[in-house]
Structure 1
Amino acid sequence: MDDVPSLSLAFLGDAVYAVYIRTFLIKEKPYLKPEQLHREANKLVSARAQSEALLYLKNEGILSPDEWDIAKKARNKSSATRAKNATIKEYRNASGIEALIGWLELHDAQDRIDVLMEKIIERGRDDDE
């Protein structure tokens, strides 16, 4: 399982990340209309937000060295394409956090995903204030 390509891990991690955020929003704000939920989710799931989340987790010492290596490897292998509202660097960082989440998912590390996603959501809340 450790030979799964970084971009495949990012593909999986993108889905896990999005479901986690959507689940959080439904629990936190069940009264929002679908278009409002979509806007709220995009604040946390956009390439820019994911890039900021990865750098936050790294700079705060929340990621282990192995986790950072997984994210960094994916970041460096990301394609030259980018999201329409993000820089190439942000897009690559987003691929890094997605790959890490995908790797954790494949290794049945749900507890660790929970910790990382809770930190990301807390940080997002702090930014809103």
Structure 2
Amino acid sequence: MKFKQYQYLKQHLFEFTAPDELKNRYEDIPTRNLSPLVLAYVGDAYYHLYIRTRLLNFEQSRVHLLNDFSMKLVSATLQAQAYKAIKDDLTEDEAYVFKRGKNAKSHAPRVASVHDYHISTGFEAVLGYLYLNKDFTRLDELCEKSFIAVAQNLSQQE
């Protein structure tokens, strides 16, 4: 981030009502109207934490291995696989959020195909939508189903 942008955000983002009390700019988070890229931003963070936590069921001491493997599991390519495992189970609202995320204007990284990147953005948008709506049961259900599908695909590869 450029220095001027950082200075602007620092001066304008946070407003204090008391020395140790921040004023919220928004009272609620209208998830239906949020940018799909904002939903994907939250969904990406949640999915990465889910994967890291889930991997502790298999490895608990080698942090470099955990980090490397979690990074692979949250890659756009494997998130596209994860989406394929859950796409038929999505509700109408979730499918709508996915479509908005998939079609959002963004820049694909060099390490994934544009197609996989757009699919993964839609997948992350769904997770962000569920997280911000506090639908943790559904969120866990979709993440677990996608985790199992990706694990099965990886275990079948040579």
TM-score (norm 2): 0.75
Q: Superposition pairs for residues 8-87 of structure 1, below 5 Å?
A: 8-31=38-61, 33-58=62-87, 61-79=88-106, 81-87=107-113
Kindly tell me the number of residue pairs found equivalent between the two proteins: 125
Counterpart CA distance in 1 for 2:142 and 2:111 is 24
Deviation at 1:70, TM superposition (A): 0.5
TM-score, length-scaled by structure 1: 0.90
Higher strand share: 2
1:118 alignment partner AA: E
Unaligned 5+ residue runs, structure 2? 1-29
Question: With CA pairs under 8 Å and 6+ residues apart, which has the higher RCO, 1 or 2?
Answer: 1
Instruction: Report the AA paired with residue 9 of structure 1.
Output: L
Give the structure with higher Rg (CA). Answer: 2
Q: Which runs of 5+ in 1 are unaligned?
A: none
- Percent of pairs with identical residues: 32
**Residue 100 of structure 2 contacts residue 122 of structure 2 at CA under 8 Å; is this kept in 1?**
yes
How far does residue 65 in structure 1 lie from its aligned partner after superposition? Answer: 2.2
